[in-house]
Amino acid sequence: MPKSKKSSNPINLNDPQYYLNRELSWLQFNNRVLHEAFDSRTRLLERLKFLAIFSSNLDEFFMVRVAALQQQVEAKVSQLTPDGRTPQQQLDDIRLSLIPQVTKQHQHFEQEIRPLLARHGIHIVDYINLTSKQRKYLDNYFEDQIFPVLTPLAVDPSHPFPYISNLSLNLAVVVKNPDTEEEFFARVKVPSVLPRFLPLPPELAFQEDGQAANWIGVPLEQAIAHNLDSLFPGMNIQEYHPFRITRDADLALEEDEADDLLLAIEQELRKRRIGGSPVRIEIQSQTPEPIRTRLLQDLDLAEEDVYEVDGLLGLRDLMSFMSLPLPELKDPPRQSVVPPRLQRLREPSLDQDGLEVEEGKDFFSIIREKDLLVHHPYQSFSASVVRFITHAAHDPNVLAIKMTLYRTSGDSPIVNALIAAAENGKQVSVLVELKARFDEENNIYWARRLERVGVHVVYGLVGLKTHCKTVLVVRREKDRMRRYVHIGTGNYNQKTARLYTDLGLFSCREELGADITDLFNFLTGYSRQKSYREVLVAPVNMRDRFLELIRREITNVQNGFSGRIVAKMNSLVDPQIIATLYEASRAGVQIDLIIRGICCLRPGVKDISENIRIISIVGRFLEHSRIYYFHNNAQEEIYIGSADWMRRNLDRRVEVITPIKDTDIAKDLQEILGILLADNRQAWDLQPDGTYIQRHPGEDCPESHSQITLMNMALRSTGIAPNLLDAPKTSAYTDS
């Protein structure tokens, strides 16, 4: 039974001891990503991939989060985080937490993964271990392909220390003039336009036993280092040491002072290419003190900005090995299925006037039957979302299409469909969010291309990012106009839709269509809309409505009924939401949270959060969907949408959460939540101290039970599954 606590002593639920630090919680998440590289049940190249993802995640963490903290320290910001830390304390704790993680990553790569790769015929060889024939080939390759690209830069009184670009790998080189015995310092940039790992040709790719290898090659920086004589002729090469720089890469944008937002962002992107202030330097542990000191002085970095590693720098480049044609070393391919109802689709037959000459199951008639839920990547994004927009673009009865674009792919079929719609004479309006971090340049390209064909392009609202995922299609049907909508939890990107779990709802319910119409008026005009019929919109009414839903569960428990909340999201950070969840737990509401990334709530704390259990699922697919379930005294309400419970989502972004009205879809969503809560392969249980413990079903479980079950679920029609949220508690719910 849920535990309730009624104490005469009031408890301050805003006390810092009840909150976990956001940055340290993110490092815990990235550590769970790293664990996938350690798990022997994960296939070898997938383990290599997770090593690369760990490094790539860290790069972005330093470019954005650490850089922001350093700026706060420089500005002498004194405001404490909800967990009671100053900016400097956070920086200190980040380093304390991160150094053992980075050490563990590199040791694992060198001592475990690299030998395993060699056992499977993939040899990342040190240059000094090459045979004479292999070395001769690479020396010739250097002269032909690498040498022309390189630019050695001297550093002396007449040559100031050169600018080191963000995320660049470099060699610090010391050379000696043999005539004067004078030593000089130089920098050589390892060019990113060349492959980081240089393969040997098949005729030289043999293992020690004489068998042909799957791949043999060397790191690019080693090929350069062993040919430095060509760059410094007449000089003696004394030593060389690789180093890597990370810079502040967040955009400093004053939107309210920008006359042209697109131009302002383009100018900021030029600055980002150069990079802001350095925030981290990675060096090898054997780098001598004089070289280390010089780099720190010239880059204006402190000792605490140094991260030493044993082995190769920049392990994010290991991702390139995923292109090797070795399917036995990767996850087996999973083919997304066409949702059962969409398997009945046909293209409409039209007469010369553009009117349908026969009734049938086109996309719009499928939606008119009842709402449709799609679950990616288990169900095909291309066969559902892309087809919906493409169908609308070419349907002569469609008059208008409105859409939000936050992140899309470089060869987006959706954008091409919108262009076709405009060329077909339809009214097309698209909000392109130019401030989508690290996708700004791509979004500028698409915005300009859309504008050239007559699409009405809006760039967002001042002070807010438009993060919601919505499409509105207006269609003439006989003597009426009907609105069709899609509301999703993920981006309109067919590439990430194969990697991220996301949900989408298709509907033509009048109230929902009216709400999304009002939303687009809010986004494109001067609407001050304060209320909506069904949807929750941030920053308008979403925060207040979520708080009402949580407090309603509290009231139900206080009135003698049961209370239950299940929520799945990327991150839980918002202090007000957390404090209200604590109130619910103390009242006896049973709460299960599935939070992939950052979580600042401490579960299982006596008298505070004893009724709250939190898991994180990290595995093959990035858990990206958001689902919110409230028991509501058996009158269950369930919602999906784009928003996490974070301040930025609730207060500084335009987000949309929609209620699910169809009972069959509601059952499916409850089943999804139940499947995930019962996961025993890739789920981690959050402990009160902020650490996570992974569930272990045994070494004979190579794949996630939840992913297999969800794939099976995608193959059948909706509404025939039991409600797993009401199932008896298993070990998945056991408090550790």
Q: Using the predicted structure, report yes or no on whether residue 412 has a pLDDT greater than 80.
A: yes
Residue 307 is predicted with a pLDDT of 97
Q: Average pLDDT for residues 368-393, to the nearest whole number?
A: 95
Any idea which residue has 């970095």 for tokens?
Answer: 301
Cα gap 651→544, rounded to integer Å? 11
Mean pLDDT of 17-32: 97
537-549 per-position pLDDT tens digit: 999 999 999 999 9
Measured distance CA(447)–CA(434) in Å, rounded:
9
φ and ψ at 357, to 5 degrees? -100, -10
Q: What is the pLDDT of residue 4?
A: 54
- Asked if residue 24 has pLDDT above 90, the reply is yes
Whole-number Å distance between alpha carbons of 570 and 642? 10
| pLDDT for the residue numbered 720 | 37
In angstroms, what CA-CA distances link 437 with 108, 221, 253, 618? 31, 30, 12, 23
Contact 37/106 with Cβ under 8 angstroms? no
Say if CB 643 and CB 470 are below 8 A apart.
no
| CA gap 521, 93 in Å, rounded | 45
What does the pLDDT average to over 657-686?
94
- Taking the C-alpha atoms of residue 249 and residue 114, their distance in angstroms, rounded to an integer, is 32
Distance of CA 688 to the CA centre of its chain: 26
CA pair distance 73, 62, nearest whole angstrom = 15
Indicate whether 489 pLDDT > 60. Answer: yes
Which pTM was predicted? 0.89
Evaluate if residue 567 carries a pLDDT over 50: yes
C-beta separation of 93 from 100 below 8 A = no
State yes or no: is 106 an active-site residue: no
Q: Give the pLDDT mean for 592-604.
A: 97
Largest CA distance in the chain: 94
Which tokens go with 730?
Answer: 């298993």
Please write down the HEC assignment for all residues of 234-282. CCEEEEEEEEEEEECCCCCCCHHHCCCHHHHHHHHHHHHHHCCCEEEEE
- In this predicted structure, what is the pLDDT of residue 155? 86
Residue 708 has pLDDT above 80, yes or no: no
Order of strands, sheet of 278-284, starting from the edge strand that comes earlier in the sequence: 153-155, 183-189, 169-176, 236-247, 278-284, 306-309
Lowest mean pLDDT among 6-15, 364-373, 541-550, 604-613: 6-15
Task: Reply yes or no on whether the pLDDT at 711 is more than 70.
Answer: no
CB under 8 A, 24+ apart: contacts of 699-705:
699/40, 699/41, 701/41, 702/41, 702/42, 702/43, 703/620, 704/617, 704/619, 704/620, 704/679, 705/675, 705/678, 705/679, 705/680, 705/681
Residue with tokens 């058996």: 634
> Which pLDDT does position 625 carry in this prediction?
95
Q: Which pLDDT belongs to residue 439? A: 59
Q: Which of 93-107, 143-157, 405-419, 691-705 has the highest mean pLDDT?
A: 93-107
The confidence band for 438, taking pLDDT boundaries of 50, 70 and 90, is low
- Residue 406 pLDDT exceeds 90: no
Do the beta carbons of residue 628 and residue 649 sit within 8 Å? Answer: no
Cα 630 from chain centre: 27
Give CA–CA dist 414/490, Å, rounded. Answer: 14
Read off the pLDDT of residues 250-283 as tens digits, 9 standing for 90 and up.
655 444 444 455 555 555 545 545 557 899 999 9
Q: Which residues pair with 218 in a beta bridge?
A: 198
How many Cβ atoms are within 10 Å of 529's Cβ, its own excluded?
Answer: 14
620 has pLDDT over 80:
yes
- 205 three-class SS: coil
CA distances from 204 to 21, 214, 321, 478, 720 (A): 52, 11, 19, 71, 58
* Amino acid letter, residue 43: R
Beta bridge partners of 169: 244
The larger pLDDT score, comparing residue 479 to residue 679, is at 679
Residue 6: is its pLDDT beyond 70? no
> Which H/E stretch holds residue 683?
strand 683-686
pLDDT, mean of residues 114-138: 94
Q: In what order do the strands lie in the sheet with 122-124?
A: 122-124, 215-219, 197-199
Do the beta carbons of residue 482 and residue 475 sit within 8 Å? yes
The C-alpha atoms of residue 19 and residue 550 are separated, in whole angstroms, by: 19
Question: Rounded distance, CA 328 to CA 417, Å?
Answer: 37
Within 13 A of 115's CA, how many CA atoms are on the CB side?
5
The answer, yes or no, to whether residue 527 has pLDDT greater than 70, is no
- So what's the pLDDT on residue 135? 94
Write out 380-391 in H/E/C secondary structure.
Answer: CCHHHHHHHHHH
- Residue 119: both structure tokens together: 């056992």
Report the percentage of the chain scoring pLDDT > 70.
Answer: 86
**SS3 (DSSP) at 334:** coil
Asked whether the beta carbons of 675 and 683 are under 8 A apart, the reply is no
Catalytic site residue from 467, 486, 624, 631: 467
Q: How far apart are CA 229 and CA 298, in angstroms?
A: 25
Q: What are the Cα distances from residue 13, in Å, to 46, 564, 608, 615?
A: 42, 20, 8, 22
Q: How far apart are CA 686 and CA 676, in angstroms?
A: 15
pLDDT at 731 over 60: no
Burial, 688: exposed, middle or buried (Cβ in 10 Å; 0-12, 13-18, 19+)? middle
* Mean pLDDT for the stretch of residues 675-703: 82
The rounded percent of the chain whose pLDDT value lies above 90 is 70
Q: CA 180, 181, 186 angle in degrees (round to 5)? A: 105
The mean pLDDT value of the chain amounts to: 87
Report the DSSP beta bridge partners of residue 472.
402, 485
Lowest mean pLDDT among 322-331, 469-478, 499-508, 721-730: 721-730
- Is a pLDDT exceeding 50 seen at residue 719? no
Tokens for 268, please give them.
């900021």
The whole-angstrom distance between residue 144's C-alpha and the CA centroid of its chain comes to 39
Number of H helices, E strands in the chain: 20, 27
**SS percent in the chain: helix, strand, coil, step 5:** 40, 20, 40
